[in-house]
Amino acid sequence: MISLNGYLIISFCLFLAGMTVMIARKNIIAILLGVELILNAAALNFAAYTRFVNQNLDGHVMSLFIIVIAAAEAAVGLAIVIRFFQIKETIHIDDATELQS
């Protein structure tokens, strides 16, 4: 059986991967993917802690809500990206330079 530490290490790796993607990639879609990785790391943590530390349902409910809200956030984020693409015809984050003082 996998111990709690196993889950925590995996989720931390997911978290690091997400951070790396967000910092290193310049593609907006890739950044949104990085956000999803971080959210999944948190959801995995919640599920693991509920299983091993306290036996009530709080953590499971948190994980379910994280999945739902992440989907909503991704939908809105992608809609805005599409709008941005239609105007500028690029999804490179470095091209978002209109608003710099």
Partner 1 sequence: MALNYLASISHYVPELILCLTMAGLILIESAYDRGVKGSAKGMMYWGAYLGLLCSFVYLFKALGTEPLQIFTRSIVIDSFGTLAKMIMVLGTAGAIFLGRQSLDIYEEVKSEFVILTIGVLIGGMLLVSANNMLLFYIGIETLSILSYVMASLKKNDERSSEAGLKYSLYGGVTAGLMLFGMSHIFGVLGTIQFTEIIPAMAALTKAQALVLMPAFLLFFVGIGYKIACVPFHMWSPDVYEGSPLPVTNFFSIVPKIAGIVAFVRVTNTFFGGDASIVRETWVVLLMIASALTMTVGNVAAIGQRSVKRMLAYSSISHAGVMMLGVLVIDDLGARAILFYAVTYLFMTLAAFFITSFVQDHYGNDHFERFNGLMKKHPLMSIVMVIVMFSLAGLPPLSGFVAKFNILAAVVSKKYYVLAVIAALNSVVSLYYYMKVVRLMVFKDAESDEPVKGFIFSNQVVITVIALPVLLLGVFWEKLIVIAGGAKIFLQ
* Residues that bind partner 1 in the complex, under the rule CB under 8 A: 11, 15, 18, 22, 28, 31-32, 34-35, 38-39, 41-43, 45-46, 48-49, 53-54, 58-59, 61-62, 65-66, 69, 72-73, 76-77, 79-81, 83-84, 87-88, 93, 96, 98-101
Nearest to 95 by CA among 30, 27, 32, 34: 27
Closest approach, Cβ 79 to partner 1, in A, equals: 8
Backbone angles phi, psi at 27, to 5 degrees: -85, 130
Closest approach, Cβ 73 to partner 1, in A, equals: 6
Whether the Cβ atoms of residue 7 and residue 44 lie closer than 8 Å to each other: yes
The strand ranges marked E within 38-95 are none
